[in-house]
A and B are shown apart, each in its own frame.
Chain A
Amino acid sequence: MLRHAWRLARKDLLVEFRSRTAILSAVVFTVLVLMVFNFGRDPTAVAAVDLAPSIVWVTFTFAAMLALNRAFQLELENQALDGLLLAPVSRSSIYLGKLIANLVFVATVEGIGLPLFALFFNVRVVPVLGPLVGIIALATLGFVAVGTLFSAMTARTRFAELLLPVLLLPFMIPPLIWAVLATATLLAGRPLSEAGGWLRLLAAFDIVFVALAFVLFPATVNE
């Protein structure tokens, strides 16, 4: 299962590396949103550190949506999805491959966005970099796991790009709130232990929804 999943993920990443369409869109989107938020706010009204956690998560969420939208569209171009379903590969391998590729893609966008965020908002992330990366990883896993499933569900619909955010965002409200609260705790200079509750909730969300996505994925791709 892992071997097939890795082949699929490697293929997706190679295709994206060659075309660079989604990654460029996501990075440009990230830069623009951070710039708009930076120059559009009144620094005397609200401190940057109070706004920053919400802004960074809104930015990452919508940038990731671009990746998730493209994940299964890629397979529909020449009906390659039928080829994947016909191959002696478990549906779970296909899901895992897509999940890995999407995680790498979103992590790349976040890796570019985080330094820009620190720069624009003058937030000191270096002292809390380890825990911050941990929070981002926890939240991203759940987000991408559910997003990959919904992307498969919506890919064959006429309004896939519209439908994906409509379906996905309501699911994302709880983990996004937990991620924002945990990030705010860290950036305010308080110890990570104070965010322990939010982190446990994020971990529980990941476990439940990754498992659910594995179980439900075959039903979403079968004709």
Chain B
Amino acid sequence: MLLADGLRHAFGAVRALDDVSFTLHPGQTLAVFGPNGAGKTTLLKVLAGLIQPRGGRARIEGGRSAVGWIGHQPQLYGQLTVWENLQFWAGLYDVPEPAFVRRERDLVARLGLQAYEHQRVRELSRGLVQRVAIARALIHDPRVLLLDEPFTGLDRTAAEEFRAVLAAQAAAGRVTVLVTHNVEEGTELATDIAFMRSGRFVDMAPRHGRGAAEIADAYRRAVSGG
């Protein structure tokens, strides 16, 4: 379970989060749409515990070890191979060696990285690096996924593969918060939709079968203040 209760944060005079509250239960995927500077990344960082909010509280069942994070940057070491990177991060999460080997094989296969497993990350293309970042985020089998524009750099095929991975995660009861400014990317996966503007949730509701076009219209109205 993930709980955000009255979250508030500011950078100087700029309000990044203004009384944001929601609760997510296993299997729920919340897509948060908002323009640049709306506070989406700050929200994820507060949820992850990377930023201490000025007000309110965030709680994730299982604490930090339950969180998988995909951000703007891949959080990988260019001089290490794909395998070495995954092994390093798995080690920090105390993933036992047999479980690591099993999960690594599975993720590498599902994300189409078999041919690059022993290649250094700095030699890979942007799209491949993003796939490795996805594998890194999932290597410890997190219960909560925090995704910040996760489709950046992925081609159509890789994006489809990643959607399938996320759908499998949701089916397995994982909680996901996905933030993006691109309505097309997040809609399909979401069980709940929120629009964010100037640090506030201006609207949050279950998706209820709404399609991308319908949500894009609602998004335009919400962020323009209409």
Q: What separation, in Å, do the CA atoms of A100 and B194 have in the docked complex?
A: 45
B79 pairs with A15, CB closer than 8 A: yes
The tally of CB-CB contacts under 8 A between chains A and B is 70
A86 pairs with B49, CB closer than 8 A: yes
Minimum distance in angstroms from B202 CB to a CB of chain A: 26
- Taking CB atoms, residues of chain B closer than 8 Å to A77 are 77-78
Q: What separation, in Å, do the CA atoms of A84 and B52 have in the docked complex?
A: 16
Which of B63, B64, B78 lies in contact with A78, CB distance below 8 A? Answer: B78
Which of B67, B80, B91 lies in contact with A7, CB distance below 8 A? Answer: B91
- Taking CB atoms, residues of chain B closer than 8 Å to A222 are 52
Minimum distance in angstroms from B204 CB to a CB of chain A: 25
A4 lies within 8 A of chain B by Cβ: yes
- Taking CB atoms, residues of chain B closer than 8 Å to A8 are 92
Q: Mark A78-102, 1 if CB is under 8 A from B, else 0.
A: 1110111111110000000000000
- Taking CB atoms, residues of chain A closer than 8 Å to B73 are 78-79, 82
- Taking CB atoms, residues of chain B closer than 8 Å to A74 are 77
- Taking CB atoms, residues of chain B closer than 8 Å to A87 are 64-65, 89, 92-93
Residues 185-214 (chain B) with a chain A CB within 8 angstroms: none
Q: Mark B36-61, 1 if CB is under 8 A from A, else 0.
A: 00000000010011111000000000
Q: What separation, in Å, do the CA atoms of A213 and B174 have in the docked complex?
A: 38
A42 lies within 8 A of chain B by Cβ: no
Minimum distance in angstroms from B88 CB to a CB of chain A: 5
- Taking CB atoms, residues of chain A closer than 8 Å to B92 are 4, 7-8, 84, 87-89
A11 lies within 8 A of chain B by Cβ: yes
- Which chain B residues have a beta carbon within 8 Å of chain A's beta carbons? 45, 48-52, 63-65, 67, 69, 71-80, 84, 88-89, 91-94, 120, 136
A19 pairs with B79, CB closer than 8 A: yes
Which of A7, A78, A82, A85 lies in contact with B88, CB distance below 8 A? Answer: A7
* Size category of the binding interface on chain A: 20 to 34
Q: What separation, in Å, do the CA atoms of A82 and B80 have in the docked complex?
A: 18
- List 26 contacting pairs A-B, 8 Å CB cutoff, sorted by A: A4-B91, A4-B92, A7-B92, A11-B77, A11-B88, A14-B79, A14-B84, A15-B77, A18-B79, A77-B78, A78-B73, A78-B74, A78-B78, A79-B72, A80-B75, A80-B76, A82-B69, A82-B75, A83-B89, A86-B64, A86-B69, A87-B89, A87-B92, A87-B93, A89-B92, A223-B45
Which of B75, B78, B80, B136 lies in contact with A11, CB distance below 8 A? Answer: B80
- Taking CB atoms, residues of chain A closer than 8 Å to B45 are 223
> Given A88-B63, A88-B93: A83 and B79 within 8 A (CB)?
no
Minimum distance in angstroms from A71 CB to a CB of chain B: 13
Q: What separation, in Å, do the CA atoms of A78 and B71 have in the docked complex?
A: 10
- Taking CB atoms, residues of chain A closer than 8 Å to B79 are 14-15, 18-19
Q: Mark A1-40, 1 if CB is under 8 A from B, else 0.
A: 0001001100100110011000000000000000000000
Q: What separation, in Å, do the CA atoms of A100 and B69 have in the docked complex?
A: 27
Beyond A82-B69, A86-B50, A87-B65, 12 additional contacts (C-beta under 8 Å) are: A7-B92, A14-B84, A15-B80, A19-B79, A78-B76, A79-B75, A80-B77, A86-B48, A88-B63, A88-B93, A222-B52, A223-B45
Minimum distance in angstroms from B123 CB to a CB of chain A: 12
- Taking CB atoms, residues of chain B closer than 8 Å to A82 are 50, 69, 71, 73, 75
